[in-house]
Amino acid sequence: MRGRREDEGGARLRAALIAVAVALALAVPPAPADATEATSGDSLESQVVRGEVSGDGAWPFMVALVSSGDRDDDLFCGGTLLDARWVLTAAHCLDGESASSVHVVAGTQDLTDGDVTRVPVAGAVRHPRYVEDRLPDYDAALLRLTRPVDQPTVTLATAAAWEARAPGVAARTVGWGASDPEATEFGPQLREGVTAVLADRVCEQGWGSQHSLDQAICAGLAGQGACTGDSGGPLVAPAHAGGDWVQSGIVSIGLVTDGDGTEICGQNPGLYVDVATLLPWLEAETGLSLGSGEPMRVGHDDVYRSAAAITRHAYAGPQETVHVASAEAFADGLTGGALAAVDGPLLLVPEEGPVPEAIHTELSRLSPRRIVAFGGEAAIAGDTVEDLGVHAPVTRLAGADRYETAIEIARAWGSTDKVYVATGENYPDALAAAPLAAFRGPIVLVRKDSVPVPTSGFLAALAPSEVVILGGSSAVSEAVGDRLAAVSGGDVRRISGADRYATAAAVATDRDNWTDPPFAYVAAGGDYRDALVGGVAAAYASSPLLLTRGDAVDPVVGDALARLDPVRTVVVGGEAAIDPPTARVLHDSGRR
């Protein structure tokens, strides 16, 4: 959100001004320095767009971009010090500018302070894939200073610091930009404001297809956010709970126009360039070691902590509905995953006994109004359901066995024209299907050589136009395929591969369902639990799920990642599931 105080030389902000109204689920007051999660509240009415004046010594890596004239307070953008000679900013800050027209002001929080460090710029380089009318994609630039600056430098968020950009995180925007929504009030003092990171799906409700979110962090609160003059400055957040602050984003775009054409800040979520996607380029240009090789791993060796982390990666709180499935039996979660991908996150619980603390903590964060348990007493015992009930009323979707339970879950979809079918005798073929089935149709179960009566009755009554079999004939026989065609009256096709990894790759790349996905989630194929929760998270993030061996990446998986071309790969689960060398290979295979 670039701008000058006067109509002087240089380009104005080149950003699309879109009249939209976004309903934000979160509104938070300024967070304490150790805050990592945005909470509900309604105390923003008296606050300005830029929040509050920063405390003395806060954000010492901040710099201001000013014109090369005599006035230190002629601000048009912000930036951060990567090291003594390099400044990171937004590429659109340089539209119409040359390096010689820009000076960097460092070492101050007050632009009118007479004792400031003002350094000319020796050279500037914008990301080679930056295009002016495609913000926020690749909206990044580097400034090389004529002399070193003796100030602390910023730490950039790597892919591994995923919590810094997780939905619901109370991040902060920092800059000298306008402090009122109509961008008429500029003050000389550095300001900061709390802004909640939003899930891409929420952000899309406002920006729609006007801007790509593939390489962006979306963050916004009603009446607060970045404004004119803040472009190029940072979005900062804790690297993890209780961790140090890191720069996760670069201010790129967020202005909208009202009915009379007035530019308004804080009405729409801001879009920030995700710095983790820039690290290879930054390292190549500067020679700095910035952690570009660190993979994004979401999960733990403990199954319940892993489920909580995966859900935390994808969903902000609160959520209307949370689903739970057994961590000790796969069948109900396989069919429930596709429904959860539509209605809300999925967590795992034990068949019997108390709910683990990690799940209680995540349920408290998600604050659901209802909990849906997949399966009957044999899958999730009554005492477990009672323990879940401290968070919200619990209902079950269950039948007499796994096949009937699948039908009860399928009926919760209502009308649908497509049904996916998998074996109920093993889990691998259906694991990767939750993102594919989400919003398309339910998953039901069959035996290898027969179609259970409940499944036949459901398909006959529904009469879908297409039935998609997941897995080869060794899992679901050709005779069963013929029977499915007869009872449904629809077309039957099969998605399969030579093994579970190839089948998952075939599911993930089926009919090119994914175009420029933000992520490709990859889970170990030897255990269903991380993949089950990961598939639901992947669906919510509009991304596919693949399966891998824990100690090697099959060529078919690497080929699928290359075809999917995600912005980044998310390794799901702990090191016991996918070892560090394999995680790094996956990271490199899926990195643009």
| Residues noted as catalytic | 92, 139, 231
Q: Which CA distances in Å does 166 have to 124, 139, 248, 321?
A: 31, 21, 10, 19
Q: For tokens 């002016």, name the residue.
A: 132
Q: 200 in helix, strand or coil?
A: helix
Q: 13 in helix, strand or coil?
A: coil
Q: 483 in helix, strand or coil?
A: helix
DSSP 474: T
36-52 CB burial, b ≥16 within 10 A, e <16: bbbbeeeebeebbbbbe
Task: Report how far residue 200's alpha carbon sits from residue 542's, in angstroms, rounded to the nearest whole number.
Answer: 9
The answer to whether 220 and 270 are in contact (CB under 8 A) is yes
**Strand 62-67 to 102-106 pairing:** antiparallel
Find the angle CA(505)-CA(509)-CA(512) to the nearest 5 degrees: 175
Task: Report how far residue 571's alpha carbon sits from residue 544's, in angstroms, rounded to the nearest whole number.
Answer: 12
* Phi, then psi, of 408 in degrees rounded to 5: -60, -40
Task: Report how far residue 27's alpha carbon sits from residue 194's, in angstroms, rounded to the nearest whole number.
Answer: 9
The answer to whether 159 and 280 are in contact (CB under 8 A) is no
**Strand 234-238 to 245-253 pairing:** antiparallel
Q: In the 3-class helix/strand/coil scheme, how is 519-582 assigned residue by residue?
A: EEEEEECCCHHHHHHHHHHHHHCCCCEEEECCCCCCHHHHHHHHHHCCCEEEEECCCCCCCHHH
Burial class (CB within 10 angstroms; exposed 0-12, middle 13-18, buried 19+) of 187: middle
Task: Report how far residue 310's alpha carbon sits from residue 298's, in angstroms, rounded to the nearest whole number.
Answer: 6
Torsion on CA atoms 371, 373, 377, 381, rounded to nearest 10: -60
Q: Which structure tokens are listed for 292?
A: 């570009």
Beta bridge partners of 589: none
Find the angle CA(12)-CA(18)-CA(21) to the nearest 5 degrees: 135
Beta bridge partners of 325: 348
Beta bridge partners of 519: 568
Residues 6+ apart with CB under 8 A from 557: 501, 505, 522, 546, 547, 548, 586, 589
Task: Report how far residue 267's alpha carbon sits from residue 137's, in angstroms, rounded to the nearest whole number.
Answer: 21
Q: For tokens 């610091």, name the residue.
A: 161
